[in-house]
């Protein structure tokens, strides 16, 4: 079957998700940590290449009403879905077009943030070259590029299964069937020997990773014709040739050694050149995927210094093992990050910060507000403690406050996107950057929270057994970041 990339995406739509680590306000925070002066996210111009149905770009446009968003994708069904949502929300600061990235040019102007998630490793070489040309010509002088790509050495394992799956499914036109058959081959191979070998264990692990994903993702990620992973240093060289300099990873913790032997972490930290340091980190952890941030090559990317944390905002949605802990008690407390990493700390300032941020999530706090809540902690201890938490993925750094309401008020109002999504299904996008599954009758409640209904009306219209049950539901809407503050930010 001759491979046609447009037809492949038309046959099986790639499921889109919100990718919060691509949010311009978060990229700006990471750049500031490195001494850069990125364009303020609140009033920036953003381009997303391969934006699909705007799963990320639409929530970002809602968050930043004074910024301007443009997304292109060659999948017309996905763009039509996105355009429909934009029209339903009445958003005026975002536009999505069916367009090949190859058609972007001078007339499109320049952008402060260029986002490319899940694209550059999956396109033919001439399209990849053109993406780098877009970065070179379409980025404003202080702008940032976010790009995800597959890396070696980890991607060798995918190469192993891809080659065999491609051969096994070469005559199957229906790509969903092909994906199923390809996975069946891996299952057969991984169970084919009397005793497990390194080979069968590898195939089993690869298969487990596919089973966890959407079949449509397997169609494109495992069976797509083009797949070009890079060693980190190779990608940095290509970016360098396009006039870009590496800044860091988003999320930031991806750029930091996690869970290694102390002497290995020390060895890595002794490598002066950040590119070499990152490359050896990939060798150590067998990395297969990166989400990198680049700026223009002429800018100075400085090592992170903790005092720069003072200019940022923070949030944390990690969860402590021990619900009630006393930071002053000097006990070890284990926290679980949203991605399931478990981190234990005995550090009283770290515990105190997390207890405050968790208790207020999804709110964000700035440095003075946090310090006010921790009057005993010397200011000079606070910034290093915050940086150590960022290193371990226990907090997120921001540059803008979210448009969320922390209390339901007289006539509660859900985010317009949440309301629309709740009318269609159970998955909604929170103002804290998460996809949330809501159950009945919470879904029904969210679908009608348009700011005109009092609690009495809501109780009459919806199947809540009591006023207390409705109050609890509204509280959980607030805690999940689903309630909207309609006042546009300054
Ligand atoms: C793997 S999906 C990623 C979608 C989205 N960025 C995400 O991460 O959820 C790749 C997207 O790139 C689009 N695409 C591929 N080649 C393209 C091109 N040459 N021009 C525009 N879009 C392209 C596909 O249609 C598809 O929607």
pLDDT of the residue at 361: 93
Measured from the CB, is residue 72 less than 6 Å from ligand 1?
yes
For the segment 244-275, what is each residue's pLDDT rounded down to a tens digit? 999 999 999 999 998 899 999 999 999 999 99
pLDDT of the residue at 194: 95
Ligand 1 centroid, distance to 159 Cα (angstroms) = 21
φ, ψ at 90 (rounded to 5°): 65, 30
Measured from the CB, is residue 21 less than 6 Å from ligand 1?
no
**What DSSP letter does each residue of 361-374 carry, written as one string?**
TT--EEHHHHHHH-
Mean predicted lDDT score pLDDT of the chain? 93
For the segment 130-148, what is each residue's pLDDT rounded down to a tens digit? 999 999 999 999 999 999 9
Ligand 1 centroid, distance to 437 Cα (angstroms) = 25
Name the band, by pLDDT with cuts 50, 70 and 90, for residue 2: very low
Measured from the CB, is residue 78 less than 6 Å from ligand 1?
yes
**What DSSP letter does each residue of 275-306 carry, written as one string?**
HHHHHHHHHHHT--EEEEEEEETTS--PPP-G
**Cβ neighbours of residue 417 closer than 8 Å, sequence gap 6 or more:** 58, 59, 62, 85, 89, 428, 429
Q: Which of 10, 195, 26 is nearest to 113 (CA)?
A: 26
For the segment 64-106, what is each residue's pLDDT rounded down to a tens digit? 999 999 999 999 999 999 999 999 999 999 999 999 999 999 9
Q: With a threshold of 0.85, does the pTM exceed it?
A: yes
Instruction: Give me the mean pLDDT over the 162-185 stretch.
Output: 94
Measured from the CB, is residue 16 less than 6 Å from ligand 1?
yes
Whole-angstrom distance, CA of residue 236 vs CA of residue 225: 24
For the segment 345-366, what is each residue's pLDDT rounded down to a tens digit? 989 999 999 999 999 999 999 9
Q: Which of 264, 269, 229, 235 is nearest to 249 (CA)?
A: 235
Identify the bridge partners of residue 114 per DSSP, sorted by sequence position.
47, 145
If one residue of 52, 81, 148 were mutated to test the ligand 1 pocket, choosing by the most ligand atoms within 8 A of its CB, it would be 52
Identify the three-state secondary structure at position 400: coil
Ligand 1 centroid, distance to 481 Cα (angstroms) = 29
If one residue of 51, 77, 119, 130 were mutated to test the ligand 1 pocket, choosing by the most ligand atoms within 8 A of its CB, it would be 119
Ligand 1, atom 1, lies closest to the CA of 118
Name the band, by pLDDT with cuts 50, 70 and 90, for residue 438: very high
Name the band, by pLDDT with cuts 50, 70 and 90, for residue 14: low
């Amino acid at each position: 079957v001759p491979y046609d990339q447009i037809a492949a995406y038309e046959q099986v739509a790639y499921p889109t998700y919100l990718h919060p680590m691509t949010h311009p306000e978060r990229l700006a925070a990471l750049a500031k940590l490195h001494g850069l002066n990125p364009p303020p996210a609140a009033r920036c111009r953003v381009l997303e290449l391969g934006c699909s149905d705007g799963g990320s770009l639409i929530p970002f446009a809602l968050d930043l009403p004074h910024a301007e968003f443009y997304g292109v994708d060659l999948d017309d069904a996905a763009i039509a879905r996105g355009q429909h949502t934009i029209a339903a929300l009445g958003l005026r600061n975002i536009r999505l077009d069916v367009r090949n990235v190859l058609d972007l040019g001078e007339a499109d102007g320049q952008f402060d943030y260029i986002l490319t998630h899940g694209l550059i490793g999956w396109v033919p070489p001439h399209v990849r070259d053109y993406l780098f040309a877009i970065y070179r010509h379409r980025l404003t002088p202080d702008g940032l590029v976010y790009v995800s790509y597959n890396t070696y050495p980890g991607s060798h394992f995918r190469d192993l299964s891809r080659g065999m799956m491609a051969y096994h499914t070469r005559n199957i036109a229906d790509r969903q069937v092909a994906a199923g058959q390809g996975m069946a081959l891996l299952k057969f191979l991984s169970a084919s020997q009397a005793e497990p070998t390194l080979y069968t264990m590898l195939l089993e692990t690869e298969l487990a990773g596919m089973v966890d994903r959407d079949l449509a993702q397997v169609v494109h990620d495992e069976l797509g014709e083009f797949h070009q992973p890079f060693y980190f240093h190779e990608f940095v060289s290509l970016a360098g040739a396009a006039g870009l300099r590496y800044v860091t990873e988003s999320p930031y913790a991806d750029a930091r050694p996690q869970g290694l032997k102390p002497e290995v972490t020390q060895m890595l930290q002794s490598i002066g050149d950040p590119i070499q340091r990152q490359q050896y980190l990939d060798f150590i952890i067998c990395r297969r995927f990166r989400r990198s941030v680049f700026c223009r090559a002429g800018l100075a990317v400085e090592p992170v210094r903790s005092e720069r944390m003072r200019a940022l905002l923070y949030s944390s949605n990690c969860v402590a093992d021990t619900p009630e802990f006393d930071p002053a008690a000097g006990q070890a407390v284990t926290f679980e990050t949203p991605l399931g990493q478990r981190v234990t700390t005995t550090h009283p300032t770290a515990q105190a910060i997390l207890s405050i941020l968790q208790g207020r999530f999804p709110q964000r706090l700035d440095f003075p507000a946090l310090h006010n809540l921790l009057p005993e902690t010397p200011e000079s201890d606070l910034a290093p403690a915050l940086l150590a938490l960022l290193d371990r993925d226990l907090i997120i750094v921001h540059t803008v406050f979210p448009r969320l309401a922390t209390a339901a008020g007289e006539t509660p109002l859900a985010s317009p996107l949440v309301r629309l999504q709740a009318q269609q299904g159970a998955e909604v996008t929170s103002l804290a950057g998460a996809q949330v599954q809501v159950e009945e009758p919470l879904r029904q409640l969210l679908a009608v929270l348009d700011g005109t209904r009092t609690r009495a009306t809501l109780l009459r219209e919806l199947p809540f057994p009591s006023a207390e049950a409705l109050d609890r539901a509204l509280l959980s809407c607030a805690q999940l970041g689903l309630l909207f503050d309609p006042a546009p930010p300054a």
